[in-house]
Amino acid sequence: MTSTLTISHLTKAFGGVKALSDVSLAVEPGERVALLGHNGAGKSTLMKVILGLIAPDGGEISVCGAAPGKARSQVAYLPENAAFHSALTGLEQITYYMRLRGEAVSGAMELLDRVGLGHAAKRRICTYSKGMRQRVGLAQALIGHPRLLVLDEPTSGLDPVSRRDFYELLDGLAADGASILLSSHALTEVEARTDRLLILSGGRMVAEGSLPELRREAALPVSMQITALNGYDTDIMAALPDAIRLNGGLHLNCTQEDKLATLARISAMQEKVTDLEVIPPSLEDIYSHFSRRDGQ
Amino acid sequence: MIARIFATAVTEAHIARRNRWVLIAVALMVVFSLVLSAAGSAPTGALGADRLSVVVASLTSLSVYLVPLVALLMSFDAVAGEVERGTLPLLLTYPVARWEVLAGKLLAHTAILIVAILAGYGVAAAITIAADPAAVAGLGALWRLTWTSVLLGATFIGIGYALSSLARRVSGAAGLAIGLWLGLVVLYDLGLLAAVVADDGGFFTTDVFPAALLANPADAFRLFNLTASQATAAASGVGGAAATIPLWQSLLSILIWPLVSLALAALAFRKVEP
Ligand SMILES: Nc1ncnc2c1ncn2[C@@H]1O[C@H](COP(=O)(O)OP(=O)(O)OP(=O)(O)O)[C@@H](O)[C@H]1O
Ligand SMILES: [Mg+2]
């Protein structure tokens, strides 16, 4: 199976600003990949290079087997601040895009219904709310059967229910074999709904993999919150020298490898402990671990 | 290809209708034509021409200002507006060539211009012929004026696209368009006239001046229409020297200019980075 998108050693600088340095990645058919990174990390720039809107300074890129911008009929794009001509109605705008893709325009209304805009299809886009404009953007990205969807912050401005609907749409597309590359700042939804995460920081690819893989690689400490039975906290602290007092309880950090051993020592003191809570590193912890590695 | 050009044209037509450009263009042409034909239907004698030909001569002088203005007003936003709204990057990821986008816009804008020109000249002709049925003799001149006006308009629409691509900002494009209109349509003739007067029948008047007239699409348009109806002396702002230029030369200029301006527009648009 050949990758829909392969990038190797891509670099791009704007004047003195290195927006992307030595970025390599591949996206397979049917795969949903999330691109994460701080503001200015280079996510949008990477997407524009993939689409052929910006010429790279170096590196090789293959999009659906062609150079960027050469396989446009197979690639759909949602820009980060999707803008449309405000004098057009949603229906006119989508009809226009369908004609440009050579699709039958009879499906325009159905497409707008799919993104929940059916009721507003005949109103001008200047009367739309931000989320409604974002949905016009989503609708145009769904036209035809793109093999690659490049979505720049697709859920920004969407309400929680619409976000869920949106990811359900994506699941359907991926099941049909489309590759999806999306950027986002919403970590929780991205980890639950994509197959792989890529983290950009200062233009470099600092991490790549599924969440469990990244969790292992980051090797962040597990924290434990121990509530001692009245008066026994000094005993526990003696047995666990790393523990500190915090908010009336005891707090302990330990590495992934030491986790089971530490738990065994705590359970050995069962009669002195009323409660134990094990808190794995959160998504934010893992993200900031990778994102800050370059001195951010 | 054709489908994509038409798709763009239909969309642009929607936008122009909503933005009232159709209405403005038609109203401008009709109002000014009405005024002129009312003035021109006074009895004429000196030229021995029919009334409609006289009206056509004054319409020519009007159109040389008005048609480029309307064309530039419709076109200056074409590329800069897309850049400023941020709609261009998305459009350029669609399987459509840049020249196809321009061709679609051109189709829509030219169609609007044709409607405006037909409305304006039609009203003028109707009034004149109603007042004097013998004026039908001038219909040939009117038809000539009509198609040359369309070509003149297409030239300036192309120039407007080129300026719009170069400026990349709507305000900048508007400034360039107005400046260019003033330069080509107003100041150019004044400058030539001043030079001819200062030159007093020398090399400039005999050699440079005719070429300079032909090089300017607006002057070539006026020259062609007035020469063709033998009314050069009657209404030409640039004096008798123009009468020595053969008709085919001004015709050639009129025919070539739209191609040149559209090629310039396509080149300038290709250089726009989204
Ligand atoms: N046209 C441009 N000219 C100059 N610098 C640019 C240009 N576009 C982007 N940059 C720079 O490139 C870097 C990456 O920008 P980019 O828009 O890709 O960030 P991003 O990851 O999408 O950020 P955000 O999360 O805020 O959308 C930034 O430092 C930005 O200033
Ligand atoms: Mg961005």
Taking the C-alpha atoms of residue B160 and residue B166, their distance in angstroms, rounded to an integer, is 10
Q: Which of A43, A48, A204 to mutate to test the pocket of ligand 1 (most atoms within 8 A of CB)?
A: A43
- Beta-carbon pairs below 8 A across chains A and B: 69
Cβ-defined contact of B90 to A52 (cutoff 8 Å): no
Is the domain covering A221-280 a CATH 3.30.70 domain? Answer: yes
Under a CB-based contact definition with an 8 Å cutoff, are residues B121 and B146 in contact? yes
| Residues A13, A49, A43: CA angle, nearest 5 degrees | 75
Take atom 30 of ligand 1 and give the residue whose Cα is closest.
A40
Please state the ipTM of this predicted complex. 0.87
Q: Give the DSSP H/E element, type plus range, for residue A228.
A: strand A222-228
Taking the C-alpha atoms of residue A10 and residue B18, their distance in angstroms, rounded to an integer, is 44
Residues in chain A where the model's pLDDT stays below 70: 1, 293-296
Taking the C-alpha atoms of residue B222 and residue B217, their distance in angstroms, rounded to an integer, is 9
The DSSP output letter for A124 is B
For position B200, what pLDDT does the model report? 77
Write the residue in A73, A92, A137 that is nearest to B11 by C-beta.
Answer: A92
Domain containing residue B44: 2-270
For B9, nearest residue in chain A (alpha carbons): A96
Taking the C-alpha atoms of residue A257 and residue A17, their distance in angstroms, rounded to an integer, is 41
Taking the C-alpha atoms of residue A227 and residue A231, their distance in angstroms, rounded to an integer, is 11
Cα A80 to middle of ligand 1, angstroms: 12
Taking the C-alpha atoms of residue B274 and residue A257, their distance in angstroms, rounded to an integer, is 51
Number of domains in chain B: 1
For A149, nearest residue in chain B (alpha carbons): B93
pLDDT in tens, B36-60: 887 765 555 445 567 888 888 889 9
For position B237, what pLDDT does the model report? 47
pTM score, whole prediction: 0.88
Write the residue in B85, B86, B95 that is nearest to A100 by C-beta.
Answer: B95
pLDDT in tens, B180-194: 999 999 899 888 888
Q: Which chain B residues touch A81 with a CB distance below 8 Å? A: 86
pLDDT in tens, B83-133: 999 999 999 999 999 999 999 999 999 999 999 999 999 999 998 888 888
A5-86+124-215 and A221-280 agree in CATH topology:
no
- Mean model confidence pLDDT for chain B: 87
Q: Which chain A residues touch B10 with a CB distance below 8 Å? A: 96
For position B233, what pLDDT does the model report? 46
Counting from 1 in the atom list of ligand 1, the atom nearest the Cα of A203 is 14
CATH annotation of A5-86+124-215: 3.40.50.300
**Boundaries of every domain in chain A:** 5-86+124-215, 221-280
Neighbours of B126 (CB within 10 A): 11
